[in-house]
Amino acid sequence: MVILVNNAPISDTPRSLNWLYNQYPSLKDGAKALTSAEPKQLTGSGALYVSVREYAVTHSQDTKISVVGTDNLTNNTAILIRNPGNGSMVLGHVDRMTDEDLSNMVQKLGTTSKLQLHLIGGFADTKNVSESLLAPVLSTLHRSPASLELVTCCIGDAATVARGGAPWPLVYGIGVYVKNGIMFPASFLDRGPDMDIRLARTLTGGEGVGMLDIYSPEREELRIGPFSYLPMRSVDIWINQSDDFILQSLTPCPEVIADREEFVRQVRSTLRIVKSHPYPSVTLFQSNSPRSYRKDEVSGGWVPCTNSSFWTLPFSMQCAKPEPQIPFQDDLCLNFKQESFLSWQGFQEPQVYY
């Protein structure tokens, strides 16, 4: 099957971000309705945050999660696929997506004749980074054996606003009410536990890092890992760089980052995790078990599950014992923006941004 618009298959694989609007002008109406909606700032209570190359599946009967969402989209895209028959939905934050990734996501939604598809994010930057990332994703969606009815398409020009003559993202984040699938622009004050560990997977992993399922709707638990990443022999060099260097190096459009201070703080925190835990399967995911969390009944925040293999302290205080220093692999796969770098780096071409 293919992507459908107004119950009819699209004529061809989308060639660009704006090709869909040229072929199907009615899609602009849904994008305008979304961008004109009142944005909301979400705390941790009842919210499930999805980071880059992660996805979460839930359903309208979930008793712990009321909103699923993501932010920091800039050049990336939020993909929402919903089964209107049973109320199940999957939200993913993508910069790339394979056929296998999409198949894993869709098969968890149950059987139906048609699924609803929503695409949000990927503004029309001057370097065409968003387009280079999203075009292959659109091709993957178009090849899907499932029938995907494109309901909301807020990408490219529709997700862009001019500021001082330069393009800026019009939507940085999205929230979705689990009960009814209604979307709204959103930002997250609390993104949940283990963000440094979660981002270490994509920061060091290269193109081989696929989409990670982070939520068990059956257990109503956030489940991180287990996964591994490559040691970084140059991690100290990166940690000691200036804030501006990190910002300019690890995002293709640093001028549009919503919170630059928080961006740099999160990068440094992630690099320290990679340094302290070069082999996370040993120190972070003991017994090859995930780091599991549930929503606290009183505060609504995430707390460690009692059956998780690692936890005795609140997650904000946890620190696994650092491993002894070991020889690091020379073939580093740190992901940063797609431009030339200083001679000391010796890294592969950048592929992942957050």
What does the domain layout of the chain look like in residue ranges? 11-306+332-347
Tell me: the pLDDT tens digits for 264-321? 999 999 999 999 999 999 999 988 999 999 999 998 999 999 765 544 333 433 434 3
Q: Give per-residue pLDDT as tens, 324-349.
A: 444 444 333 444 443 333 322 333 33
Cα-based distances in Å from 13 to 71, 135, 144, 154, 247: 27, 9, 12, 17, 34
Q: How far is CA 153 from CA 16, 116, 119, 249, 335, in A?
A: 13, 11, 5, 30, 28
What pLDDT score does 333 carry?
Answer: 43
Domain 11-306+332-347 belongs in CATH node 3.30.1330.200: yes
% pLDDT > 90, the chain: 72
Give exposure, 146-165, as e/b (b: 16+ Cβ within 10 Å).
Answer: bbbbbbbbbbbebbbeeeee
Q: For 117-140, what is each residue's pLDDT tens digit? A: 999 999 999 999 999 999 999 999
pLDDT higher than 90, residue 162? yes
- The structure's pTM equals 0.87
- How far apart are alpha carbons 318 and 338 in whole angstroms? 34
Q: Which amino acid is at 254?
A: P
Find out whether 268 and 197 touch, Cβ atoms under 8 Å: no
Per-residue pLDDT tens for 30-74?
999 999 999 999 988 899 999 999 999 999 999 999 999 999 999
Residue 214 has pLDDT above 70, yes or no: yes
